[in-house]
Structure 1
Amino acid sequence: MPTSEAQEVLFGDVARQARSGDPQAQLALGQMLLNGVGVARDESAALRWFLASAAQGTPMACNMIGRSCELGKGVAIDLHTAMLWYERAARAGLDWGMYNFATGLTLGWGGEKDLPAALAWYRRAAALGHCKSFNIIGGFYEDGWAVARDLRRARAYYVRAARCGDFRGCFNLARFLLQEGRDAEAERYVAMARQMGTKEFLEKMDAFLERRVNA
């Protein structure tokens, strides 16, 4: 069965379960509609299914509603409402909800920035093994945000982020390794970042490396 046909069959099965009231199927259906898997992309319909799942207490559905509001997927961009949903997901124990809520606190989406509260939520996500949170906590220590600047701790968090596959963590660890003269190890982590990073990130990484060579 061709992949597209298989996806259509899967979409039909998930849709039937979602309509029967299964909250996990509702979440999955929303994600399929959001990404156009087995059906044409429909962000508004995706949001409706996320709302249905969230009404039954599904933390990831709350997080996805937050993402929809943050990015304007099926609804106008509304960072205040996004924060309400992220907080709901965070307090329900979802690592991604904690991470996204902390990001909003860092950037002031809910009003004033609150770096100490953001760091506390990043720590809670990291305690659950959330890879990107390790990298962000490393940044807090490297830049001295809400904590005393501590490059040793920053490096340790970048190590944890890199080892669990965060491309930004890989690059940040590589920066430290270059400063330590451990170029071969740094190149390995740069290569890992290159495999996983977004186009925008890679452009910034290459610009940094070029500046270092020409310094």
Structure 2
Amino acid sequence: MRHVVLPSSALRRLLAGTALVLTGVACAPIPYAVAAAQAPAQALTDQAVHHYEAGQQTQALEEFRRAAEQGNRLAQFDYAMMLLNGEGVNADPDGAVHWLERAASAGMTQAQYVYAKMFDDGYVVGKSIPQANLWYEKAAKQGHVQAQAAIANEYFIGRGVPKDYKTAFSWYEKAARGGDLPSQYIVASYYERGYGVVTPDLERARLWYGKAAAQGDVAAQGKLDAMNRERAQRTAPDSSQAPVK
């Protein structure tokens, strides 16, 4: 497979929020015996993280490589990102894709999401919406919030999958519960209007607009203010019915 070196601007867009993972990340569970066998690799990964945070990239790269070869998923992902970014080594897109796919196939959600994004955007690997959706959904099913929002968008517009507003809403709601701001606004809109998917529920709509507004969404704050005004008008006493003294 032929790969291309990313322009720096494209790389920054792709890897926004997807740099090295230096702490815990969601992964598919592995059997206890396997986990025990990988304990040395985990210790090596922890050591690599320490060296990376200390700015010792060459040492970290070598330790991530060794741990990756021993099957540690975090090391596989971080080694892939260092190869892709050219940290401690000349950039190696082919090697990066190899180790990213290994981590994704082993069930690491962040690797699955980044791999999906690569296929979605056509960076490093050939553009493939079906492959992107496959990996988005794998990560989404394990609770990766960005992947949940991404696959929701695909079902909403029918991109690579049949258009399905109900399935889209289900994924948007999961992402919203995970704190994704755009999804919170979209879920609020669903509950406000229904769109033939959910029963309109203004209280739930107000709740989700409020959550989005609390994260700084100006449009959500505007919707919340308008709904609060409408509610105040509905519940205000009718002055025309006041008793005459």
- When normalised by structure 2's length, the TM-score is 0.61
1:76 is displaced (CA, Å) by 4.0
Residue 114 of structure 1 aligns with which residue? Answer: 128
Number of residue pairs matched? 175
For 1:55-99, what per-residue CA distance to the aligned partner results, in whole angstroms no more than 9, with x for missing partners? Answer: 212122111112223334333444443222111112223222222
Residue 186 of structure 1, aligned match among 196, 200, 208:
208
- For 1:86, which of 94, 100, 115 is the aligned residue? 100
| Structure 2 counterpart of 1:25 | 43
Q: Structure 1 CA distance, aligned partners of 2:125 and 2:181?
A: 32
CA distance in 2 between counterparts of 1:129 and 1:53 reads: 25
1:171 is aligned to 182
Asked if 1 retains the 8 angstrom alpha-carbon contact of 2:173 and 2:187, the reply is no
Partner of residue 4, structure 2: none
Query: How big is the shift at 1:160?
Result: 0.8
Fraction of identical pairs, as percent: 27
Contact conserved, 1:80 with 1:109, CA < 8 A, in 2? no
Tell whether 2:117 aligns with 1:103: yes
SS at match of 2:67: helix
Q: Relative contact order (alpha carbons < 8 A, sep ≥ 6): 1 or 2 greater?
A: 2
The CA deviation at 1:109 is 2.5
Is residue 2:79 matched to residue 1:65?
yes
Aligned partners of 2:209 and 2:223 also within 8 Å: no
Contact 1:171/1:189, CA 8 A, preserved across alignment: no
Aligned partner of 1:174: which letter?
Answer: Y
SS at match of 1:22: helix
Q: CA deviation at 1:159?
A: 0.8
1:150 aligns with 2:164: yes
Shift of 1:191: 4.7
Whichever residue aligns with residue 142 of structure 1, its letter is: F
What is the CA-CA distance between 1:47 and the residue it aligns to? 1.5
Deviation at 1:171, TM superposition (A): 2.5
Report the Cα offset of residue 131 of structure 1: 3.0
1:124 and 2:126 correspond: no
Q: Which runs of 5+ in 1 are unaligned?
A: 1-20, 195-201
Which residue in 2 is equivalent to 1:3? none
Structure 1 residue 128 displacement after superposition: 2.7
SS at match of 2:71: coil
Residue in 1 aligned with 2:34? Answer: none
Distance in 2 (alpha carbons) for counterparts of 1:27 and 1:50 = 6
> What value does the CA root-mean-square deviation take over the aligned residues?
2.9
Deviation at 1:184, TM superposition (A): 2.2
Q: Distance in 2 between matches of 1:30 and 1:115?
A: 34
Q: 1:75 aligns with which of 80, 89, 110?
A: 89
CA shift at 1:116, angstroms? 0.5
The equivalent residue for 2:61 is: 47
Q: TM-score normalized by structure 1?
A: 0.68
> CA 1:72–1:143 in 2, change beyond 3 Å: closer, same or farther?
farther
Q: 1:93 to 1:186 in 2, by over 3 A?
A: closer
Supply the distance in 1 between the matched residues of 2:221 and 2:58 (Cα, whole angstroms).
43
1:22 Cα deviation from its structure 2 partner: 2.1
Cα offsets for 1:156-185 (capped at 9, x unmatched): 10111222x2x4x34223134146264522
